[in-house]
Structure 1
Amino acid sequence: MEPKRATVRDLRRQNRSALLSTLYLGGPLSRFELSRLTGLSAATVSKVTGEMVEERLLVEAGQVESDGGRPRVLLRVDPGYGTVVGVDVGETGVKVELFDLGMTRLATVDHPLSAGGSDPERVAELVAEGLRGVLAEAAVDEAAVLGVGVGVPGTVEHGPTPRVHAPTIGWNAVELEKLLRANGIGLPLYFDNGAKTQGVAEMWFGAGRGARHAVIALIGSGVGAAIITDGSTYRGSTSSAGEWGHTTISYGGRQCRCGALGCLEAYVGAAGILDRYRKARGGRAAPGDDERAALGALLQAAGKSRTADTVLEETVGYLGAGIANLINLFNPERIVLGGWAGLALGTELLPRIRAAAQTHALRHPHDQVAIELCELGPDAVAVGAATLPVAALLAQGN
């Protein structure tokens, strides 16, 4: 079968996509710089950017001096061209955020979930309610929204009908898109695993920026990762790659929420850490109304309680060993620790975590890697989810 020949329309879309992507991720830039970076001719760059300026997709952003000639006009993507929504469906709550195209946050709605309250129908209701809330708060018309990205705590099976598999919250092939449509959401919808959306956010705007090979780890109640190889997210054959939390760290060890024994998540996920602490205290849980408060209390007890110190030392060891596995398997330039629990642990214990990783990793790949904290904070999953409709805009070129 002969390969399909590119049409004039295909070529136009490719040119628009190349220029728009380069400007979005690297702008503002002059037309001269765009020609150099994309390999497109000066005439093509001038014609296509002229069209996008007329469409108000691009705007002028000042001037820069040129060598001996007139100053060059800088272009950038117009933040006001449209808005995007990012949704973080977590195990403890649903967060809905509205952004302009410059990823300036315009509005946020948070809905907490009670323990065991991740019923798919209820989650869909909260997403729809949150969407209405952010649009009302920012006084934005739905027609100005380019799309809604949703990050979920599980694997997304992409296809005509996306299905979410998240065994830790009891979801098996949940058709979340249908549930959202049933709640009146008619906007374009995009879905991905929350760790992967966080990965895109950190690669585009945060601690992963500039790296070609990286692992962006998400540590919350559960544990996941986005594996970036040569600038692209590695997905595997069915998009489930990156389930770092369900790699085995201890043969025959603690039971994980997924049902297996010895998973990394059972030792370094917030739920696993707090369960180990509770058992070490003879059944007394850490004080706090929720996991975040309880983990904060555990970290505050460091240096005051031998039990807390032991649990945290073990957690550092397990996390360091898990990071070493990433280093040995993927040889990344950078490993970024994110997620609310990852940030809490990393803020207090990062030097010790780095030392533990060094103990378990092969020397040469370890010496090439930097282990850093997420820069976008606990909103990284929602920011990354909002990049899903942005990525669609960049790929289509309009």
Structure 2
Amino acid sequence: MRENSQTVHDLRRGNRATVLRRLYFDGPVSRQELAAGTGLSQASVSNVVGQLVEEQLVVEAGTVGSDGGRPRGLLRVNPGQSTVIGVEVAETWVRVKAFDLTLAVLAEQTLPIEPDNQDRDLVINHILTGLAKVQAADNVDPDRILGVGVGVPGLVEQGAELLVHGHTPAWHTVPLETLLRKGTDLPLHIDNGANTMGQAEMWFGAGRGAQHAVIALIGSGVGAGVIADGNPFRGARRSAGEWGHTTLSLDGPPCRCGSQGCLESYTGAAAIVARHRNLHPNPEPLLDEESAFRKALSDPSPQAQALIQESARYLGAGIANLINLFNPERILLGGWAGLLLAEDNLPLIRETARRYALHHPFDGTQIALCQLGPDAIALGAATLWVNHFLRSGGKLTPPPR
């Protein structure tokens, strides 16, 4: 009897999850459209919708006319049911954003970090400060926060204790969740920033509809989120996607990871800014990284233009490696520096990828830009909790660790 009860419970949860996902991604829709789109019977849809409306997870959203019959009521996920928070830990800032359940922005805070001062205590303090400020916003109900997603650079090891393995000395084996727990009791979900950006683009951006994709994150450093059969590919120790630390030249420039000739040492914003400064015998005082990167891109000198074109060509060669390794349908370039670099250099990047990739898989790969802009990491971090909400059939409590 217990086994049968568990089976019935799983079936109900599965039906709820199916209905919620349909409403979330395609709503508002009618009950009739839910039945047709989910494959559930009209009776099952009515039963599930009745539960979800009673729990205020789903609300009415107007009516639509029908052919000769009564108008049909439309349904959608209730945006005000819960709040989710997304945190982006970048090389030069911490950004904290609160969203409603449909990922409309409610409040946000951005706290800057000096490029050479990525002290872990400073970053943790910024995260906690940002969380406190967005929770205090007038349109955020602290009692309705479902959870906090955090996107970080580096490897995220999910074991007995969550550890972040960054590529700078201050971020070697950092027990980030334990440290954050000293300042917040909100549910936490921590992942690599390229993975969170990838999920956002797959849900709402340029990745929609693809089953095999790579989302390239190019900021100060370089990373990638790999999607295989519609799911994130993480590898045996969750370190898959460290594309920036693939080797393009055995005797190339040193990389902050300790190796040489990494893709990041040619195409990351920090590396391009440093190489651009070396072109000038008397460089100006240091600018913030984004301003310095924009200056390098717009420098009309032949040496600067050659540097930028070389970086674009190395990026194209790195993309060719992705094509040969993963055979994706799409490779999407994102991150603030990636979007800026591709503005004037996307044709060169594509042509270089074509030159170095195997011809048959290249012909089946679309190389395009991400659509959600530079804030996609925080948005994707928030979707970690929305995904839990949908997969659990509307459960408003966090899963056990």
What's the TM-score once normalised by structure 2's chain length?
0.93
Q: In the TM superposition, what is the alpha-carbon distance from 1:370 to its structure 2 partner? A: 1.8
The aligned counterpart of 1:266 is 265
Alpha-carbon RMSD across the aligned residues, in angstroms, is 1.9
Assess if the C-alpha contact under 8 Å between 2:115 and 2:289 holds in 1. no
Measured after TM superposition, the shift of residue 68 of structure 1 is 5.3
Within a 5 Å distance, the mapping from 1:174-185 to structure 2 comes to 174-183=174-183, 185=184
In the TM superposition, residue 5 of structure 1 has moved relative to its aligned partner by: 8.8
Q: Which SS does the other structure have where 1:161 is aligned?
A: coil
Residues 73 and 287 of structure 1: CA distance in aligned 2, closer, same or farther (over 3 Å):
farther
Aligned counterpart for 1:362 among listed residues 336, 358, 363: 358
The runs of 5 or more residues in structure 2 that have no matched partner are 395-401
| Letter aligned with residue 335 of structure 1 | I
Q: Give the length in aligned residue pairs.
A: 392
Structure 1 residue 390 displacement after superposition: 0.8
The residue correspondences of 1:55-134 to structure 2 (distance < 5 A) are 55-66=55-66, 69-134=69-134
Q: Output the amino acid matched with 1:341.
A: A
Q: Does 1:141 align with 2:137?
A: no
> Mean Cα displacement is larger for which, 55-64 or 213-222?
55-64
Q: What runs of 5+ residues in structure 1 fail to find an aligned partner? A: none
Q: Is it true that 1:333 corresponds to 2:332 in the alignment?
A: no
On the 8 A contact 2:111/2:126 being kept in 1, the answer is: yes
- Cα 1:8–1:341, aligned 2, differ >3 Å: closer, same or farther? same
Match of 1:313 among 309, 316, 321: 309
1:322 partnered with 2:318: yes
Query: Does structure 1 retain, via aligned residues, the 8 Å contact 2:309–2:345?
Result: no
Secondary structure at the counterpart of residue 84 of structure 1: strand
Kindly state the Cα deviation for residue 65 of structure 1 after the two structures are TM-superposed: 4.1
Distance in 2 between residues matched to 1:138 and 1:250, nearest whole Å: 53
Name the SS of the counterpart of 2:379 in structure 1.
Answer: helix
> What letter corresponds to residue 106 of structure 1 in structure 2?
L
2:290 is aligned, of 286, 292, 295, to: 292
- State the shift of 1:34 in Å: 2.3
Number of the residue aligned with 2:196? 197
Check the 8 A contact 2:120/2:170 in 1, yes or no.
Answer: no
Once the two structures are TM-superposed, the CA of residue 345 in structure 1 deviates from its matched residue by 0.4
2 CA distance for matches of 1:40 and 1:123? 47
Asked whether the 8 Å contact 1:320–1:355 carries over to 2, the reply is yes
> What does residue range 240-279 of structure 1 map to in structure 2 within 5 Å?
240-279=239-278
Task: Give the Å deviation of 1:55.
Answer: 1.1
State the 1:75 CA deviation. 1.6
Alpha-carbon distance in structure 2 between the residues aligned to 1:382 and 1:108 = 10
Cα 1:286–1:36 shift into 2, 3 Å: farther
Amino acid at match of 2:61: A
Structure 2 counterpart SS, 1:80: coil
8 Å Cα contact 1:107-1:134 kept in structure 2: yes
Q: CA deviation at 1:74?
A: 2.2
Where does residue 213 of structure 2 map in the other structure?
214
Q: How many angstroms apart in 2 are the aligned matches of 1:36 and 1:205?
A: 23
Relative distance call for 1:390 and 1:356 in structure 2 (3 A) is: same
Separation of aligned partners in 2, 1:61 and 1:319: 46
Q: Give the alignment of 1:143-182 within 5 angstroms.
A: 143-168=143-168, 170-182=170-182
Structure 2 SS opposite 1:170: helix
Native 8 Å contact 1:288 1:297 kept in 2: no
More moved, 213-222 vs 323-332:
323-332
Aligned to 1:379: 375
C-alpha change, 1:381 and 1:252, in structure 2 (3 Å) is same
The 1:276–1:40 alpha-carbon spacing in structure 2 relative to 1, beyond 3 Å, is same
Distance 1:60 1:128, change over 3 A: same
The residue number in structure 1 matching 2:397 is none
Letter matched to residue 253 of structure 2? R
Aligned to 1:25: 25
